[in-house]
């Protein structure tokens, strides 16, 4: 009887511990979902200029950009002062036939981003805005989820390139920004309003295993000491974003 009583007590203890863990996890998730993030504090880190600006209207921020990079590239017309032949580290580099041209892109993001119940997949084209006014693209080279395997060889020395419509963009780590501001720095926002950070965090390289399926995680950052969900660029597919937006994306027009 004593042995039976010990077993019952043990099962009761495990059950209570499990219920407590589930309750704590539920409370943590509820607290996360009820957290009101405010990304207005990060706006001063955007390198606005003629052709790249933002405006705040109620609870939304709208970025308008000509999408012209503020750095050199072999994709500038030869007459442009920023034209520079490829001098990166990719021995397989092959230039694509397109040139950088001015665009007219508008991206509206929520001032107070929050997790979306129904996660939306990213589409081809702009999915966010880097702090220098260049747009982010997802991890695909084209329709039907074509991988970037071959397209990567057309990325310039700063790891960007233009489309057939002459729209310059980054699919992977924007080297110009991480070299200028640091590999742990704020790089921009995705269209759901959540920030994108570099591949380094607390002195350690972030890998895909450190992130969820949307390519992010939640904790305090230098810019958001109270914590925020944020994405990281990594050196492996999906690079910037995983299975879609963690939050609800705003309007994107280009």
Burial 241-253 (b: 16+ CB within 10 A, else e): bbebbbbbbbebe
Are both 48 and 25 inside the same structural domain? no
Q: Given pLDDT bands bounded at 50, 70 and 90, which one contains residue 120?
A: very high
- 3-state secondary structure (DSSP) of residue 13: helix
Are both 170 and 201 inside the same structural domain? yes
Q: Are 196 and 232 in contact (CB under 8 A)?
A: yes
pLDDT digits (tens, 9 = 90+) for 81-97: 999 999 999 999 999 99
Are both 12 and 100 inside the same structural domain? no
CA angle 115, 214, 190 (to 5 degrees): 70
Segment 125-129 shows an average pLDDT of 97
pLDDT score of 22 more than 60: no
Cα–Cα dist 185/173, whole Å: 12
**Residue 80 structure tokens:** 């442009």
pLDDT in the model for residue 34 = 53
Q: What are phi and psi of 205, to 5 degrees?
A: -70, 130
Task: List beta partners, residue 189.
Answer: 129, 195
Instruction: Write out the residue range of the structural domain in which residue 171 sits.
Output: 39-253
- Whole-structure pTM value: 0.86
Number of structural domains in the chain:
2
Segment 155-170 shows an average pLDDT of 98
Q: Are 224 and 92 in contact (CB under 8 A)?
A: no
CA angle 29, 33, 35 (to 5 degrees): 115
pLDDT score of 221 more than 50: yes
Are both 178 and 201 inside the same structural domain? yes
Are both 96 and 9 inside the same structural domain? no
Could you tell me the CA-to-CA distances from 44 to 48, 152, 237 in Å, in that order? 9, 31, 30
pLDDT score of 174 more than 90: yes
Cβ atoms within 10 Å, residue 55: 10
Are both 222 and 181 inside the same structural domain? yes
């Amino acid at each position: 009887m004593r042995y039976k009583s010990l077993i019952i007590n043990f099962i009761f203890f495990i059950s209570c511990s499990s219920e407590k863990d589930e309750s704590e996890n539920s409370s943590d998730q509820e607290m996360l979902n009820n957290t009101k993030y405010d990304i207005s504090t990060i706006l001063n880190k955007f390198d606005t200029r003629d052709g790249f600006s933002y405006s705040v209207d109620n609870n939304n921020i709208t970025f308008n950009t000509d999408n012209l990079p503020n750095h050199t590239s072999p994709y500038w017309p030869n007459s442009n002062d920023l034209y520079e032949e490829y001098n990166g580290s990719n021995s397989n580099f092959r230039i694509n036939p397109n040139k950088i041209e001015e665009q007219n892109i508008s991206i509206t993001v929520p001032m107070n981003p929050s997790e979306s119940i129904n996660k939306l997949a990213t589409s081809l084209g702009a999915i966010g805005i880097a702090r220098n006014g260049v747009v982010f693209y997802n991890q695909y080279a084209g329709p039907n989820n074509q991988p970037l395997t071959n397209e990567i060889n057309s990325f310039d020395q700063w790891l960007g390139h233009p489309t057939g419509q002459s729209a310059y963009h980054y699919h992977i780590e924007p080297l110009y920004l991480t070299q200028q501001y640091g590999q742990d720095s704020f790089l921009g926002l995705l269209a759901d309003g959540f920030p994108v950070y570099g591949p380094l965090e607390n002195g350690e390289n972030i890998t895909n295993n450190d992130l969820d399926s949307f390519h992010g995680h939640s904790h305090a950052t230098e810019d958001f000491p109270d914590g925020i969900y944020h994405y990281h660029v990594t050196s492996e597919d999906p690079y910037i974003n995983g299975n879609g937006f963690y939050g609800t994306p705003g309007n994107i027009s280009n």
